Amino acid sequence: MRIIHLLAASAILLVSGASLAQHAEAAKAMNHGGQGDAHARNNPEKQEAARGRGSASMAGSNGRGDGGQGDGVLWLTDASAFKRNGKGSGRPAGDKPAGGGRMAGMDKDGVPTRRVWLNVGGNPKTARPVTAEESALVQGPDGNTREIAVEPHGGPYNVKFPTPSQGSYNVYFTRRALARDTLNITLAKAEVVFASMGHGMPKDVAARLVVPRTEARIPVEIVRERQDKETLFTRLNYGDEIVFQVLQAGKPVQNARVTFTSGQGWSNSVQSDEDGRATFTVIRDYYPEDWRLFDKRHRENYLVSASFSTPEAGEYLGGKYAATRYTATLSGAYYPGMADYESYSSGLMVGTAGLLFTGSSVWLYRRRRVKPYQEVRFDE
């Protein structure tokens, strides 16, 4: 009976250890003031929008889907459009390109290059590559902008550009289309980071390399405000708050509808405040089927879109319009944080300790049951 009790206690310890990671993150998300990701995951149809001016949790009232933006949203990403993992997430599968999914290479002169792709669809999980003919603008860390024409290859739209120096590069794609009496202006933007080394770099130099920049020729864009002490090697993690600012001709846009959609399709929409800002909290939506395969470098792509209308009237390609509809997008990536990895490690440690305790207890119990050999003589 004692052995049975010990085995039962060990099983309880193992179950508790294996579930530490999930419970720790669920509690963390709930402490951020929004819906806990465990609750949202189990009740996607009953999510409630977080309240507050320009601030909300990602797990909001829209639940799964395209964030209310429809399938026509255009956005740029540095994740390959060809290699997918079979689930439509847009992450490369098979070979792992440099930077955890970013497409990298070098030109004939040995200068590092990056490539971005144009996708259509408001949900990163189901978005698909699309063709286009418009050229792109690439702004380097020095603030200089150059136009890059698209190579006529007939495949999905992609732009390859050199990254000769470390820093953050902005890539812009603009499309204008006239629909009835409304001019639709779409601006897709991607922030691509090139970092080769950081050891020994002065702090002021490192800070300048990640300062967000805007382009005067761009009619509307979204800017991600940097995290405290952010560097070229900083990664966004679950639980982080991200602040975005919507700008039109360099000025903040109030009451723009801003939608944040995670890599797994969770989304929430808020109105930008008087400074054009909208704040979102990254919830956890990475749940490996087997926790033994937990990947601390797992990458998910998020998509932020903002839309608003103005009474601007004019003429475009021979057609007149009485209003202008602006749509801006910005994509990025986020990863499991140290808390996720430490929670998983703690679970493994508790499970291992439970096994050691059980084995030791059984061994001691059996050893105490063993009686020493005694010679018995019978007097016949």
The C-alpha torsion from 284 through 289 and 293 to 294, rounded to 10°, is 10
SS3 331: strand
pLDDT surpasses 80 at 375: no
* Residues in contact with 159: Cβ distance below 8 Å, sequence separation at least 6, in sequence order: 115, 116, 136, 138, 148, 150, 171, 173
Q: Which amino acid is at 278?
A: A
Say what the pLDDT of residue 19 is. 46
pLDDT surpasses 70 at 24: no
* Residues in contact with 205: Cβ distance below 8 Å, sequence separation at least 6, in sequence order: none
Say what the pLDDT of residue 124 is. 92
For the entire predicted model, the pTM comes to: 0.69
Of 209-213, 326-330, 332-336, the range with the highest mean pLDDT is: 326-330
CA distances from 151 to 107, 114, 136, 159, 340 (A): 15, 15, 11, 8, 42
| pLDDT per residue as tens digits for the range 160-175 | 999 998 889 999 999 9
Residue 353 DSSP class: H
Give the span between the Cα atoms of 151 and 233, in whole angstroms: 31
From 15-19, 35-39, 200-204, the region with the lowest mean pLDDT: 35-39
Instruction: State the pLDDT confidence band at 210, using cuts at 50, 70 and 90.
Output: confident
Q: Would you list the domain boundaries of the chain? A: 59-336
Cα angle value 261/265/268 (rounded, 5°): 40
Give the span between the Cα atoms of 47 and 61, in whole angstroms: 5
Say what the pLDDT of residue 351 is. 65
SS3 217: coil
Give the mean pLDDT of the chain.
75
pLDDT surpasses 80 at 25: no
Burial category of 95 from C-beta neighbours within 10 Å (exposed 0-12, middle 13-18, buried 19 and up): exposed
Say what the pLDDT of residue 288 is. 76
Report the sign of the C-alpha dihedral through residues 83, 85, 88, 91, in that order: negative
Give the span between the Cα atoms of 375 and 299, in whole angstroms: 70
Say what the pLDDT of residue 296 is. 74
Say what the pLDDT of residue 344 is. 52
Say what the pLDDT of residue 262 is. 92
Instruction: State the pLDDT confidence band at 107, using cuts at 50, 70 and 90.
Output: confident
pLDDT surpasses 90 at 298: no
Which position has the higher pLDDT, 104 or 57? 104
